[in-house]
Amino acid sequence: MITMPLLALAALMMALSQWIFLLFISLYMLRLFGQGMMSHIAVTAMGRWFNAMRGRAVSFSSLGLQTAEASFPLIFVLVSGLVGWRGSWIAAAILTLVVGLPLVVALMRVEREPQSAEPGHKVQTAPRDWTRGEVLRDPLFWAILAVFLAPPFIGTTVFFHQVYMVELRGWTLEMFAGSFFLMSMASLAAMLVTGALVDRFSSVAVMPFMLVPIAAGCLVIGFSGASWTPYVFMPLIGCSMGASSTLNGALWPELYGARHLGSIRAVVIAAVVFSTAVGPGLTGYLIDAGVYYPVQIAVMGIVSIALATLMVSLRQRLLKRAGA
């Protein structure tokens, strides 16, 4: 009830912006209240509201952002053709307030506190609720966080320097762009499959395998310049990004409880966003310093393997922590 009106205000400001300063404020608010807080609130709510089917709930809710990223650009172009781009932002603000907000309020008017699991499913939640301060002092938290930072770091780096990679390998931009569809499909499938696996085996048990696809993809694109490489690499990176999206919503309640889940995930999301900013800048600096870009990608794959191995070694401690 706070975030959605502010998101609508940001859309309205974008529609009415006539000055650069107001444009910057509008973009900041759209990023903060839209992609930032709305998706964070959704995944946090799923993690708190569901126990036995938490994995499926988180993976299903995460499909919203993926679906929007795939469909809204085309919808925006079509609506802009009818009412102009400013009219499109006004329509977005109206729909958010008139349709979105009342719908969410109606669906969440009764707080849901899960009490028991369905037959055949154990309740997957931590023995106690940790505060954010306790979590930040936990060494295991930082090891797990490093695992979740790898996919966004690698993915953003590859997307940002894609033209440079295409030039190095002698590919065409059209060929590389065609592989993005495979990445999206793999990401969607990985979300749903990971959700089912989490409900069956727990997030802690599934997490060590999350980085295996992206590690393999990095090694492929790092050592091969064949024309088929993007069509192998992009689905592999999509698998890890999809699995990461589901696990990032399901894991933290298992380890640290649900009472302070929002503040804990806020730290995680802030770190993820920071990693997406560091990746392109750091790799760009290394490119200018003469470090061969495919070698950098291969090193990212090796680091991913090391992080996956670390999670395997910590698996028993994490299972004990989760009470599983």
Instruction: For residue 44, give both structure tokens.
Output: 């946090």
Going by C-beta distance under 8 Å and a sequence separation of 6 or more, which residues neighbour residue 262? Answer: 40, 41, 44
CA pair distance 89, 69, nearest whole angstrom: 16
101 and 158 in a common domain: no
The answer to whether 218 touches 139, Cβ cutoff 8 Å, is: no
The pLDDT of residue 269: 84
CA pair distance 1, 21, nearest whole angstrom: 27
Where is the domain boundary, 90, 107, 124?
A: 107
| Pure H helices in 170-292 | 173-201, 203-206, 212-223, 229-256, 261-288
Does residue 112 sit within a domain? no
CA pair distance 23, 16, nearest whole angstrom: 9
Does residue 99 sit within a domain? yes
Instruction: For residue 152, give both structure tokens.
Output: 């966004």
195 and 70 in a common domain: no
Does residue 95 sit within a domain? yes
Does residue 231 sit within a domain? yes
Instruction: For residue 73, give both structure tokens.
Output: 């650009």
C-alpha distances in angstroms, 275 versus 35, 95, 155, 193?
16, 33, 10, 26
The parent domain of residue 38 ranges over 3-107
Measure the CA angle with vertex 184, ends 183 and 185; round to 5°: 95
Where is the domain boundary, 107, 141, 159?
A: 107
Does residue 151 sit within a domain? yes
284 and 150 in a common domain: yes
The answer to whether 152 touches 276, Cβ cutoff 8 Å, is: yes
Q: What is the DSSP letter of 131?
A: P
275 and 202 in a common domain: yes
- The closest of 284, 160, 187, 166 to 229, measured between CA atoms, is 166
CA pair distance 156, 297, nearest whole angstrom: 12
Tally of residues, the chain? 324
Does residue 181 sit within a domain? yes
Instruction: For residue 79, give both structure tokens.
Output: 């609506």
CATH number at residue 306: 1.20.1250.20
171 and 43 in a common domain: no
Q: What is the count of structural domains for the chain?
A: 2
CA pair distance 12, 64, nearest whole angstrom: 22
306 and 268 in a common domain: yes
- The closest of 58, 91, 85, 98 to 245, measured between CA atoms, is 58
Q: Would you call 202 helix, strand, or coil by DSSP?
A: coil
Does residue 117 sit within a domain? no
CB 117: neighbour CB atoms within 10 A? 16
The pLDDT of residue 125: 58
166 and 91 in a common domain: no
Q: Would you call 323 helix, strand, or coil by DSSP?
A: coil
The pLDDT of residue 103: 92
CA pair distance 180, 170, nearest whole angstrom: 18
68 and 159 in a common domain: no
Give the pTM: 0.73
Environment class of residue 154 by beta-carbon count within 10 Å: exposed (0-12), middle (13-18) or buried (19+)?
buried
The pLDDT of residue 171: 85
The continuous run of DSSP H or E covering 312 comes out as helix 293-322
86 and 42 in a common domain: yes
The pLDDT of residue 116: 47
The pLDDT of residue 307: 94
C-alpha distances in angstroms, 279 versus 38, 157, 167, 282?
24, 5, 20, 5
164 and 90 in a common domain: no
308 and 205 in a common domain: yes
195 and 84 in a common domain: no
Does residue 120 sit within a domain? no
Residue 171 phi/psi, 5° resolution? Answer: -85, -175
Where is the domain boundary, 74, 107, 140?
A: 107
Q: Residues of the chain whose pLDDT is less than 50?
A: 116-117
CA pair distance 267, 257, nearest whole angstrom: 15
